[in-house]
């Protein structure tokens, strides 16, 4: 643990429920309204106006934990159907730009600058609930500075083919992905790096060790490696920073389905990067660990632990900020990657490509 007495860094806050766990109305008011208005995570490619009918319905019904996920999802259907009809009508009228609703961002999985000859490649690895269609929001900014991007999902989420319950499945996944990169004429495989978000940081820390010779650098933003599986931590996280029941969601992600108790009982022994020896391997790619010190999703203690094992690593913690240390962490990482790729770029200008600004 990072704190004395075998305690978590945020031990005093572990038992204090966050306001957004009291009701959906509070979730919207205290955590989601502002990001929706800004067009940033988790509201990429959407507008606050689209969500207002949904918010009104959930608020009127006083929806709160424990959520009925089928009922919760059904609330979104009318708005989704309406938006689908708008897109279909625009497509029918030949207004393809309005139909796709993309603006300057191309939400695809692989984007290569026109100047590829070849160019460095950045693998963007998603987290627990931000899939490749959402993290595509980063691709245009990297294209503008001459970097190709490849966005992938982690095991147990989205369309990732790797077996979520097999600790070694990501190793095979990365071998295949890196082999494919090697075969692309437009990509410089010697300048391949990875930026992983949140839960993806776990996989970034693993691949930095298992495929160290094939990666120029790896960034693990807001990830974990060992204490994230501690029962004492998992027993508390459902009422902390994450908007919903995090332990239950993680159980599904790691292949346990709704057997949360089995996940709490077995998860550390099965997936810990300390217990399986990964952190103590003698070789590691250049690895940057970034997070907020007050993270209530994955304990900052995991990054302290990683620094005390195996090959030397780099770290930057954002003091007093919660999960992932946003937005300061983004500027830290962008500058680090610019140096890694040996390019001149402005992080402020690149960050300005992120917020979604609807045209219609």
Maximum Cα–Cα distance across the chain: 67
248 catalytic residue (yes or no):
no
267 - beta bridge partners? none
Active-site hit among 189, 198, 272, 329: 198
Report the alpha-carbon distance of residue 354 to residue 286 in Å, rounded: 27
Q: What are the structure tokens assigned to 340, written together?
A: 């890694």
Helix orientation angle between 246-253 and 260-271, rounded to the nearest 10 degrees: 60
* Contact status, residue 273 vs residue 206, Cβ threshold 8 Å: yes
Q: What are the structure tokens assigned to 335, written together?
A: 């500058």
CB neighbours of residue 133 within 10 Å: 16
CB neighbours of residue 85 within 10 Å: 10
62 catalytic residue (yes or no):
no
323 catalytic residue (yes or no):
yes
Active-site hit among 230, 245, 295, 301: 295
SS3 (DSSP) at 288: strand
- Per the listing, tokens 């410089």 go with 188
Chain-centroid distance of CA 316 in Å reads: 18
Helix orientation angle between 200-210 and 169-182, rounded to the nearest 10 degrees: 70
* Contact status, residue 206 vs residue 255, Cβ threshold 8 Å: no
Q: What are the structure tokens assigned to 231, written together?
A: 């029962």
Active-site hit among 20, 226, 239, 323: 323
What is the set of active-site residues? Answer: 198, 295, 323
């Amino acid at each position: 643990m990072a704190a004395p007495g075998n305690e978590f860094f945020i031990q005093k806050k572990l038992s204090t429920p966050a306001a957004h766990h009291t009701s959906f109305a509070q979730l919207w008011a205290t955590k989601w309204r502002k990001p929706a208005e800004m067009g940033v995570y988790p509201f990429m490619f959407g507008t606050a106006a689209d969500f207002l009918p949904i918010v009104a319905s959930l608020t009127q019904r006083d929806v709160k934990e424990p959520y009925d996920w089928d009922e919760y999802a059904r609330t979104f259907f009318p708005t989704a159907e309406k938006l689908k009809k708008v897109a279909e009508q625009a497509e029918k009228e030949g207004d393809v730009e309005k139909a796709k609703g993309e603006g300057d961002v191309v939400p695809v999985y692989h984007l290569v600058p026109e100047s590829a000859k070849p160019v460095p490649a950045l693998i963007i690895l998603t987290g627990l609930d931000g899939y490749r269609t959402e993290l595509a929001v980063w691709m245009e900014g990297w294209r503008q500075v001459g970097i190709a991007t490849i966005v992938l999902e982690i095991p147990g989420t989205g369309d990732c083919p790797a077996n979520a319950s097999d600790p070694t499945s990501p190793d095979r996944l990365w071998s295949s992905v890196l082999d494919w990169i090697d075969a692309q004429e437009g990509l410089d495989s010697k300048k391949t790096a990875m930026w992983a978000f949140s839960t993806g940081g776990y996989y970034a820390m693993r691949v930095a060790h298992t495929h160290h010779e094939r990666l120029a650098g790896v960034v693990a933003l807001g990830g974990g490696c060992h204490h994230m599986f501690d029962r004492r931590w998992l027993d508390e996280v459902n009422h902390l920073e994450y908007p919903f029941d995090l332990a239950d969601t993680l159980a599904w992600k790691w292949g346990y389905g709704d057997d949360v108790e089995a996940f709490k009982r077995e998860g550390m022994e099965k997936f810990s990067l300390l217990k399986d020896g990964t952190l103590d391997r003698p070789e590691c790619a250049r690895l940057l660990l970034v997070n907020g010190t007050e993270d209530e999703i994955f304990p900052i203690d995991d990054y302290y632990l990683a620094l005390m094992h195996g090959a030397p690593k780099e770290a930057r913690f954002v003091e007093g900020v919660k999960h992932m240390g946003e937005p300061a962490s983004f500027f830290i990482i962008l500058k680090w990657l610019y140096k890694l790729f040996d390019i001149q770029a402005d992080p402020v200008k690149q960050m300005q490509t992120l917020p979604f600004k609807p045209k219609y």
